[in-house]
Structure 1
Amino acid sequence: MPDLFAAPEIAAPAEAAPLADRLRPTRLEDVIGQDHLTGPQGAIGRMVAAGRLSSMILWGPPGTGKTSIARLLADAVGLRFAAISAVFSGVADLKKVFAEARDHARLGTRTLLFVDEIHRFNRAQQDGFLPYVEDGTVILVGATTENPSFELNAALLSRAQVLILSRLDAAALETLLARAEQAEGRPLPLTPEARAALVASADGDGRFLLNQVETLFLVNLAEPLDPAGLASLLHRRVPVYDKDREGHYNLISALHKSLRGSDPQAALYYLARMLVAGEEPLYVLRRLVRFASEDVGLADPQALVQCLAAKDAYDFLGSPEGELAIVQACLYLATAPKSNAAYKAHKAAWSSAKQTGSLMPPRTILNAPTRLMKDIGYGKNYAYDHDQPDAFSGDDYWPEEMQPQNFYAPSPRGFEAKIAERLAYWDNLRKERRGG
């Protein structure tokens, strides 16, 4: 994997080399966008200043300098550098790397082992690193684009620091463009608007940006390109999004929180992010249906109806026409009054049911299909509510060994405000008819 970031004054090694290769950094301070790690107060900066490294996992998006940092770390503290990729390596490769590292350790040279895509090693392979990390044979620097909490063994994580690399922002990408222009000795053939569009299309990935820049430098253009011309020349970048990885869970969480926060604009943005990236629309609809019950509930009973109607509409129309129904459901949920009273009632009632076991309901409300059941009092003196004033008997329906519970407390919002009034009215009637 090529390194990306170099100081502007560094000469290109060979004109035929790819631009990304020519823009390698030679010092940690030349790495852009990661000052929180490589700066004097950062974890890496402090380790280098002390001349001692601990094993670490570099977690960040593609094209943010993970490989560059690993190489420069080895140089900065005088370690031998060895690299493997979990995509192409197996047990035999690991054994060879560890044997070589042990041989060098006997000669007084420690090894920094860089493992790219470390999350692709299975659990047993990850466990294989432990003895060599523990005895100091290698300083492990793993690189991953996936959340280490989900993808790496707890034992391995306990022996390494997790350092998070930031997605490159517009300023960092602009710095990279300036370095590329200096290396080429000419400006990019873009209008200011197209330049901004190019930076935005990189989606925080420096490697992708440099590949696009190299294409622009290779094409002889009579006039600078505007955004439309740039779009027609370069391929559109596909958003980074794995349906079974952290990006998936981050976006669905952001959608859910935006809906809960009654922000229809942000909710639409995250909905679009997911669908544009290729998320299965029915997955999104399932989450919207869940939200309708969990976060709106009886504050607006139509929320659930709207979501189920959107599911039916999408089933009927498919994409892209049916996606408008998903948008409608999303907007309805975002603008509906919010209540988690039904959600809390569900949790409380289930907890109580588990604690109270198999308590018998009052015999008065039990059906008596046999004579024996009638003889022992099933259904005796049951007050049929429709025969009572206000169609309300006020009877006690709880097991005799259990005090009445209050699981559901409606919010004062939306339709639940009316439900609260109704429940209060029944409570008063119940007290009256039970003699206060």
Structure 2
Amino acid sequence: MTNSYTPGLVAGRLDADEIAVNFADLHPAYDPHEAAVAADRCYFCHDAPCVTACPTDIDIPLFIRQIATAQPEAAARTIFEQNILGGMCARVCPTETLCEEACVREAAEGKPVEIGRLQRYATDAAMARQGHPFLRAPSTGKSIGVVGSGPAGLACAHRLAMKGHDVTIYEARERAGGLNEYGLAAYKTADNFAEREIGWLLGIGGIKVVHGQVLGENVDLATVQADHDAVFLGVGLGGVNLLDLPGFDLAGVRNAVDFIAELRQADDKSSLAVGRNVVVIGGGMTAIDAAVQSRLLGAQSVTLAYRRDRSAMGASGYEQDLAATHGVQLMTNVTPVAVHGDGAAQEIELEYTQAGNGTLQATGERIRLRADQVLLAIGQNLAEDAGLATKRGKIAVSGAGRTSLAGVWAGGDCTPGEDLTVVAVAEGRDAAEDIHAALSE
């Protein structure tokens, strides 16, 4: 696929002021009064179901009670003890399918306590202060190599540094953060939050980040092992799934991951070229983020095409509704057949599908849509397994992230499980505890 110039891709469809409004914070922060009112709705349940639903096991009733009693920084410590990336998770976590879906208020009234926004209120308050909330333990003299600075790698590195170990993070890209820096919608992480959060996290000390280190290219697992007492792999999913179909090599067709990354790194979003008629293939969070941001950049028509029905989409109902409210047409039970155009995309051909006998079947009925830009969001794959045992195309792990190779742990999107920021944080944290226990024996 190529990202060459095409007549349909135009920069500056909207001026800078419109772009700034469109990409403003999706959920503006609470002020103290709003936070107090929201916290007052919590029942402070015993054996709260919201805690069980949180992958990082944050004591949600406790931190909300601390907010209710005007102690937001104490609330933040409650959060950070379990989830050091609680600020980012408050912004991007699908709380509507996790803690808020489990909230007793949701069951009783259809309106949960806004746990995510309360978490953001507390973590923002703490991060605005000078200094880091945790101190390092005395040095152990042990060294750990962490490959990848995404949520799993950062959570692992911070917990290990807290326990007195020295950590070196090997990062492939120019900026640390992984998915948080390159893969999330800009309106979810406004004001350069991902970079600011990493700077704050590194305030614990004992963590060194080395950039330009690509596993399997200029750095290999054996070398990292030789230099450290233990290794944690948080390499994410560096590869993207493509479609080998007619016309998918035309200009104007690209993967949505690169589109989102380019948008996230742009100093001037109004300078980004976007099609007049955009079609996004996929049904997950990446597809939604690409579709909504295409609209925010000024695309006149954006269609999200998914091969199954809405109930099977990876994106939550909330995200689907968010796309619809931004003018994205959700087209389900269609699969791509070809892209048509003279050197550049002009139309996409889709075929309707139906479920039958436990499989997805093509119906033979086809439709063409105008499309000068086609974005593929059909999943990612593991770019480098470093020779470790794999399971379902990811690095196989047991217990708290132990791989098939002694002294090597892994977590996050590169291992089996849900590909969520909050899950990656939990896996990095738990692997760090296991690494510490192993090194302490």
Question: Do they superpose with TM above 0.5?
Answer: no
TM-score of the superposed pair, with normalisation by structure 2: 0.22
Q: Which has the higher contact order (CA 8 A, sep 6+)?
A: 2
Q: Judging by fraction of residues, say which structure has more strand.
A: 2
Larger radius of gyration: 1
TM-score of the superposed pair, with normalisation by structure 1: 0.22
